Structure 1
Amino acid sequence: MKKFGWIAGLILVLVLGIFFWWKFYFVFGEGVKAGSLNYFVKKGVIFKTWEGRMVQEGFQSPTSGALQSNEFRFSVTDPEVAAVLERNSGKHLELRYQEYNGMLPWRGTSVFVVTEVINASESGKTDGSALPYDN
């Protein structure tokens, strides 16, 4: 009976460990989002984390007659990425992110964690390739 208890206990610890890894450390998805950086701040009571909001263009919604929130809320764990975002507030950004199944307090308040700033440009300015035509 004692041997059964040890085996059951080890199996339970293993299952809980796998569940914890899947819930908090398994990267569920990766992608890129683009928009204007609206808000970026370092905050927290015990764990100080960088949190941000980016406004994306468009008003499309999966259901007809409803408006979709085009605000992308994210967290940042890398201090170098946070420094780049702090310098580019209000600019049009392209961000690479990872999506997790759950959030951890030391990783931020969002399941979306930005890992890289791909591009930063002034809002409404172009590189010359899309200039308006002359009359």
Structure 2
Amino acid sequence: MLRKVIIYFTLGIILLTSAYFAFVYYASYSEGVRSGELIKFSSKGYVFKTWEGEISQGISGAQIFKFSVLDNNEKVIEGMKELQGQYVKVSYIERYRTFPWWGDTNYFITEVQKDVSPFKMK
């Protein structure tokens, strides 16, 4: 009897843990588009190297959008490197939680493209 209880309890813990990690891995909270000047993009971390960046969405950096890029998204990483210091538009997904090897933020960029700054005079 006690052996069955221990087995069911262990299986329950494994099932709940698996469900939690599956939820964190697949579920997204929101998705959208933001634009601004790409002011920072770098690979950082002690144990897990992740790609992190910042976009200034206001005058003189009044509003900063911090984001991460997954390592397997090489097209976005190369685009970010090329567009450093320029006005960009990014598509992103926001996750409920993240893993340490994914990045520091809950915002993950899925696409980047050059955009025209609304602050430039014609």
TM-score category (smaller protein): 0.7 to 0.9
Contact in 1 for aligned 2:38/2:56 (Cα 8 Å): yes
Taking every aligned residue pair, what percent have the same amino acid on both sides? 32
Superposed counterparts of 1:56-71, under 5 Å: 56-57=57-58, 70-71=63-64
Give the whole-Å Cα distance in 1 for the aligned partners of 2:52 and 2:38. 11
| 1:31-72 Cα distance to aligned partner (Å, 9 max, x none) | 1111111111111212221110001137xxxxxxxxxx6211
Aligned counterpart for 1:120 among listed residues 107, 114, 121: 114
Unpaired stretches in structure 2, ≥5 consecutive residues: none
Greater share of residues in helix: 2
What is the TM-score normalised by the length of structure 2? 0.82
Contact in 2 for aligned 1:24/1:101 (Cα 8 Å): no
User: What residue number does 1:76 align with?
Assistant: 69
Matched, 1:102 2:94: no
Contact in 1 for aligned 2:89/2:115 (Cα 8 Å): no
- Alpha carbon RMSD of aligned pairs, Å? 2.1
Structure 1 stretches of at least 4 aligned residues deviating more than 3 Å after TM superposition: 121-126
What is the TM-score normalised by the length of structure 1? 0.75
Question: Larger radius of gyration, structure 1 or 2?
Answer: 1
Give the whole-Å Cα distance in 1 for the aligned partners of 2:23 and 2:38. 30
The one-letter code sitting in structure 1 at the alignment partner of 2:85 is G
Give the whole-Å Cα distance in 2 for the aligned partners of 1:90 and 1:23. 32
- Cα distance, 1:8 vs structure 2: 2.0
Superposed counterparts of 1:31-46, under 5 Å: 31-46=32-47
User: What residue number does 1:61 align with?
Assistant: none
Give the aligned length.
116
Q: For 1:6, what is the secondary structure of its paired residue?
A: helix
Contact in 2 for aligned 1:40/1:89 (Cα 8 Å): yes
Contact in 1 for aligned 2:96/2:106 (Cα 8 Å): yes
Matched, 1:52 2:47: no
Contact in 2 for aligned 1:23/1:102 (Cα 8 Å): yes
